[in-house]
Each structure stands twice: as C-alpha cells, then as structure tokens.
Homo-oligomer: A and B are copies of this chain.
Amino acid sequence: MRIRVINPNTTESMTALIEASARAAAGPGTVVEAVTPIMGPASIESHYDEALAVPGILRAIIDDSGADGYVLACFGDPGLDAARELASGPVAGIAEAAMHAAAMVGRGFSVVTTLSRTRGRAHDLAARYVAPGVCRGVHACDIPVLELEHDPAARKEVIALARHALERDGSDAIVLGCAGMAGFAAAASAELGVPVIDGVAAATVMVQSLVTLGLRTSTREEYAPPPAKSYTGLLREFTRS
C-alpha cells in the first residue's frame, strides 16, 4: 500500500524529518511518500498560518488522489475535514492519531507543544477526538517550530516540560504536540518511563490499519465529494467541474 504523508508547511527539512519518522513506523509492504506543498507557510504557528496551509494540503491531495491513505503531519490537523471529502483513501491528522493511540495506552495524557498561542487549538482537537477528561493538559515550551530540530537544548527542554506535565496533570502518557518533535519520542519515553506518542508515527500506522481493514472515509452526507463549484482569482485552479 502507498501512504502519502503531507507536511502542511513548506520547509523541506521538516518534510524529511517527517518522512523518516513515518517510514520507521510503516510496515514492510507499505510505501511512504512525504510531500511538501507547492504553496503556503514556512511553518504553522498561528490560526492564520494554519488556515493558509490548507490550500497547499488540498492541492497535494488533488495532485495525487490515488494513494491508499493520507497523513496530515501538523498537530493542528489543518484541513482534515476538507481532505476527507477529496481523498479516496482514509485520512488521519497527527493530533487525531496520537490522541486515539494515547487513549489506548493510558488513563489520561498531557500534550507538550511548541507555542503557548497554539494551546487552544490542541484543546479543541482533544474535545473533538477523545472523551472528556482523557486529555488532562496542554503545555507549551515556547520554542518556535523550526528551531526544534536545530536547537540542541530543545529535546531536553521538551522532556523536562513533559515531566512537569505528568506531575501537574496526574497524567500517565505524553503526546508530542508538533511534527517537529517526531525524533524525541524514544528518548523521552526512556527518560520518563511512560508512553510518549509521536503523531507522525501514530498516524502512519493508524492509516495503514484502516487501509488493511478496507475502511475509508464514509461518503454518506458530510464527507461526500464536494459539489462542482466555480473558483475565481488566485484560487481559480481549485474550480471543480
């Protein structure tokens, strides 16, 4: 099977990081292709960035609609609903997959993310994906997304924050709240002694599982293919006829 992993931002080095994490998790028969959108923001650190990442994500699905499944590799799960309308195979966001996985290996998890301003979005997603009380807190390290891979101290700070979160929230698992933290999961789990979930890996195996089960997004009502529509201006190429 072929899974298309879309990095919602346009930074190639981050696409490479995401691809490595997805490939490490995928099964032997699974081909993982990570892709950088042809338009959009260099990183996603606001609602503005998240909203403007969506056209590039949708473009990446339209341009290759024959994959067996899709992963959206930004923790805000941007464009997930629209992606489900377009894609023929199942689609998972990394927050979605990480939270479902965390719910199966513990009683309550904490999210450790980058910027404080994105905590609201993480809470909204938790309210949508898991039962009340399962996400017990969202904590920010206030390291910008693109510095995560270059700042040698970042991993240490993220792990220290996770340790604080476990204590403060009474949680028993950690969800890494940024695709840029994909490389931290193993070390963090070893140090903290609790499950630490990287959403990129989680979404890859979850989508792989859904494909194996023969499942794809329901086309009954809400997620049916979008109706024909004329688009104008900069976005006219998104016209559906």
Contacts and interface: CB of A to CB of B under 8 A. Distances in A.
Given A100-B104, A104-B96, A212-B27, A131 B127 contact: yes
A195 B209 contact: no
Contacts of A215: 101, 105, 195, 197
Interface string A74-116: 0000010110111000101000110011011111000000001
A157 to B, nearest CB: 19
A177 interface: no
A234 interface: yes
A218 interface: yes
Interface in A8-33: 10, 25, 27-29
Given A120-B222, A208-B209, A230 B166 contact: no
Interface residues of A, number: 100
A106 B217 contact: yes
Copies, count: 6
A178 interface: no
A156 interface: no
Contact of A54 (B10, B54, B84, B237): B54
Given A38-B234, A46-B226, A193-B219, 16 more contacts: A25-B212, A27-B27, A39-B233, A40-B233, A41-B230, A41-B231, A46-B85, A51-B51, A51-B55, A55-B235, A56-B235, A97-B104, A106-B217, A117-B221, A173-B218, A208-B209
29 contacts: A25-B212, A25-B213, A37-B233, A41-B230, A42-B229, A45-B227, A46-B227, A47-B82, A47-B84, A47-B226, A49-B229, A50-B82, A51-B81, A52-B58, A55-B235, A92-B104, A103-B129, A105-B217, A117-B221, A119-B170, A127-B131, A132-B132, A172-B221, A172-B223, A193-B219, A205-B208, A205-B212, A205-B213, A208-B209
